[in-house]
Structure 1
């Protein structure tokens, strides 16, 4: 299968969660024999923080201007079996028009930001990556979020065939490694600053740090403002590329997962960081949201925290119990949440969409033949 993707970015992990996911998924698709071409607009902020310049098992097209990119995009779409547009793609509406006009057997939209999409619609805001016809013309709509989000993609955006394609991890990249002293922490948090995560981060991280001044807390990420409420026992590591995540997680006694507000409200939206940390053998403390227990068993594979007291209590967990929790989470992740597992799921979804498209074509041909004979 040849798959052409118009996405946000795979070349830079700075300030976004898409790139790491795509790297694992594209690698796994290539391992299954598929040919993948990824189109990404070459924007300055990703160019300045680029940590991948070519795909080892695919084709990366970095284009500065959509009009200039059209001939190459059309050429790749001409022999594509499937074509995909993703949320936050810089030229998503134009790419959608091109994909829908192409001869690709299956045209796909993948919303990696479904709660943000639906929240914007609820607020009456325009969604820059969705055209005036919504998602009605795509053969398949994939969502990073499950649960009720799937129904809303149908009712509010007209999606006809919807399925979840959740986050995942590449265990060749994210695995236990020797701890680095600079990353040593009793509790860590890795994530780009987001205002709608701040209240939960203050409750579950900042207040815990103030309650436990003798312990070391570490934040890793980008775009943190100067007025962030640091404490004397909170250290900071500026943006870390994916290859440094294992060292970060492997040096943490616990790591914290905090979900963006829209995603927490929607539920069924596991962050890739959950799977990364678990694959590295780091015990995870997470905020609570609907559907989390479908990915990890609370109390056995993950700790759920609703307030500061829950975090403080978890951090006092005996080492043997903490180690057992981490082992069970890693085993679950390697069994159910790898990039290879998601690639197989995507392949199955595309195959089913291919079959549906063929049946539709046969029905049209039969109808045309019936009319002709009549």
Structure 2
């Protein structure tokens, strides 16, 4: 059916109206609705409350909700030269790196703090020696970086040198400060002090001459610090410490390492897990061999995440503030973006002893 000429203007007006309705609301529409300037709307969107009354803020937020306004991250990045995104690189050989409870808690604390302040997290698991070729390094898509590094001290220093050369600020979790990393901050828990506290508690509870510690095949700075703490106390008291390596992400690997150790030597006085997962798995192996805990041997772990409370007997361990580390790292990197420099080079959180009944 042909359109009559007198109907075409009405159809055109309706089409134009529909196109306008389809357009997303703008910051100007929000400002008009709330009766404020676009600068005030921008402040509310970016959570800047300085010089603004609570009534005004609520009025703007109500206009944003009513209109369904969503600020453009691209537009904001063009104005502020920021992308409102932090990159997180976890250098770990395991494809299931996020299954590790410490990593899970760390990332949760980091992303929750960032998202509450309008920032996103771009998370990448990266295999050792592949950091240079990763997207986070090759493409500048983030405002700053956070990293958790594994490998030997030499490998980690090479990673830190690479990150320094990028010219971006970065936070390193769980490693020692490096003087040459000028625009970096090191956030960690005091793993060595936690191990010292555990070692002293063990020797208060039982007479020990031999101990064995199950640690991961991949080197981690935190585990190096824990081994160092145990050795400092044990060496002083002439307690030998053997190290047994295993894949700490695999129960089968931990069981195989424990079985092999028991097959070649008598049980030590103390079994130490680099974390609670290792310690709990070793306890199951000991139970199958009718080796009593703590009657025949003592067992301790590290981290004290909630699942360790299911141990029987209750596990002696040390509580890691992993979630708080993530929060702190996020706060530090956001403060760096605002201030233009890190106020401190290093932040260290305490690790608390959890006195169970397993030693």
Same fold (TM over 0.5): no
**TM-score interval (norm. to shorter):** 0.3 to 0.5
- TM-score, normalised with respect to structure 1: 0.37
Which protein shows a greater Rg? 2
